[in-house]
Structure 1
């Protein structure tokens, strides 16, 4: 039952994002080309090492899914859609899920990462610096080295006790900044 609930939550989030991408593309409204950003505001603890350059910035909206484990809520997985920061229509261009992994719905490229530094924030999930562990493809996520999760809102596990195999999706939003080696 636990696996079925997790799959249903993830499948629903991914289906909504994919449907939105397909609708906007078939309507001739593909995501607009974006110029490379030059700067994001991040805490000093989440600074990307020298030798890397900012290549893209996305807004993310989704859920942090928690499952009941030994009477406490534990993070199971995120499920979010990403859109270009300056796209007012918020057309999805990438999906974020367990791994963590980000996959472009535009070009199929992907990046997996692991948390390098967490910066706690009161009342919301922490901001993060993640180091890429693998990339795939030649598109937007090719050669990504670091990812920052910034401007987080929501996504905190419930403060209430849980029982059995309960699961809950808690809405969150964030800004994700992606970096590649400077050339």
Structure 2
């Protein structure tokens, strides 16, 4: 996919994530936002807090990569993937039903969470939209973003941006499944 279409798709996905949080979760009572379906499963807020923890790292890494900006090639250039980038994106796609575990520091299970998680999530999405706008003038195929869990490895800027967005989509769907199950329980 060419750079402009690629970035437009990511921007639309981020906008949809914000809409979901603001329309489906923001009005729910705190008790429901914190309710788990099982002791080891995440609540809605834990899903979003997990994404906030990733965003704290990746938004800063994107800002740093953009500060070292390399001029973008012509708009006709295709976004390219390394083996690691393609594998990372495919593992996190919401259509991939294989479960994966997270690092302890990124696992919010059992955290004391409040409405501030929703506010922080929205702030991170606003920042990500700014990053996507800035990325339009830089080379998305340059290796520039260290991987969160092993910083010696770097992803290309484009594949790192896509990884973050599909990871967010995956956990947003998880939060929506929690919400649907809780509504079904309350209806009984």
Structures share a fold, TM > 0.5?
Answer: no
Q: Output the TM-score relative to the length of structure 1.
A: 0.27
Structure 2 length normalisation: TM-score? 0.27
Q: Which has the higher helix share?
A: 2
Greater share of residues in strand: 1
Which structure would you say has the larger RCO, counting Cα contacts within 8 Å and 6 or more residues apart?
2
